[in-house]
Amino acid sequence: VRYPSWPERRAVSDRYYARNPERFLGEPSDFFAWSGPYVATVRPPLEVLELGSGPGRDARGFARTGARVRAVDHSPIAIARGRAWPDAPASLRYEEANLIDALIATASGRVGVVYAHMVYMILSDPEADRVAREVHRVLRPGGLHLFAVRSTSDPVAQEGVQVAPDVRVRPPESEPIRYYRRGTLDRFTRAGFERVAAEESVSAHVWYVCDRRP
């Protein structure tokens, strides 16, 4: 499978935000609510690293609970919208960066929660493995990796052109998207995580996952 360069993939995100001025603003996602009881098990003070935050609806939710939050997104449009949102909590910082670069720049063993809602579908398998290893490195023992990814049960997983099993390109974009099933979700635990929960939201066709660094 050929994945476009990172600048090309960032341009895909920017085009999306340019076309959809209201997307991912407003109240936190359902996955944020699902994550709450797991996040409550992490010892405070809580530092959250959100990858692919968009304009930060969930990042603001975390910040309102008193967490220190780094919201990382590679789209300058998304980051500008997040920064422009009124009443920005002081404990929330936005970073315009590729999520892999942001992980690499993060010190080891300090972060309580790494959180990614509907982002990892754009990663190639080697990139997903790298992300899992880096997330494991930056988390402190007992820290959580919370992520949501689209399921193969989603009707859109039948659209476009299949370029590998469960990987599809939907024109006009050239970006391959991976849809996950329980078996392929397991690759995220290989870096040394314990799986706490992996639940499919049947109505939304999305996997909700919580992994813990022992």
Ligand X SMILES: C[S@@+](CC[C@H](N)C(=O)[O-])C[C@H]1O[C@@H](n2cnc3c(N)ncnc32)[C@H](O)[C@@H]1O
Q: Is 198 helix (H, G, I), strand (E, B) or coil?
A: strand
Site for ligand X in 5-44 (CB under 6 A): 13, 24, 29
C-alpha span between 177 and 188 (Å, rounded): 17
196 to 60, 119, 146, 193, 214: CA distances (angstroms): 25, 20, 10, 9, 11
52 contributes a contact to ligand X by CB under 6 A: yes
Please choose, from the candidates 54, 200, 184, the residue with its C-alpha nearest in 3D space to the C-alpha of residue 128: 184
- Is 48 near ligand X (CB under 6 A)? no
Radius of gyration of the chain (CA): 16
Q: Quote the CA–CA distance of 185 and 92 in Å, as a whole number.
A: 30
Rounded CA gap, 17 and 182, in Å? 30
Sole binder of ligand X in the list 39, 46, 47, 54 (CB under 6 A): 54
In this chain, which stretch among 73-81, 85-93, 150-158, 193-201 interacts with ligand X, using CB under 6 A?
A: 73-81
Identify the burial level of 205 via C-beta atoms within 10 angstroms of its C-beta, where 0-12 means exposed, 13-18 middle and 19 or more buried: middle
Residue number, nearest CB to ligand X:
52
Give whichever of 18 and 161 is closer to ligand X, judged by the CB atom.
18
From candidates 47, 57, 82, 145, binder to ligand X by CB under 6 A:
57
According to the binding rule CB under 6 A, does residue 134 interact with ligand X?
no
Distance, in Å, from the CA atom of 203 to the CA atom of 214, rounded to the nearest integer, reads: 32
Q: Which amino acid is at 49?
A: L
Interaction pattern, residues 74-113, with ligand X; x per rule: CB under 6 A: xx--x-------------------xx--------------
Rank residues 98 and 189 by Cβ distance to ligand X and give the closer one: 98
Three-state SS at 93: strand
Among 40-48, 69-77, 106-114, 202-210, the segment contacting ligand X (CB under 6 A) = 69-77
- Is residue 122 a contact residue for ligand X (CB under 6 A)? yes
User: What is the contact surface with ligand X in residues (CB under 6 A)?
Assistant: 13, 24, 29, 52-54, 57-58, 72-75, 78, 98-99, 117-119, 122
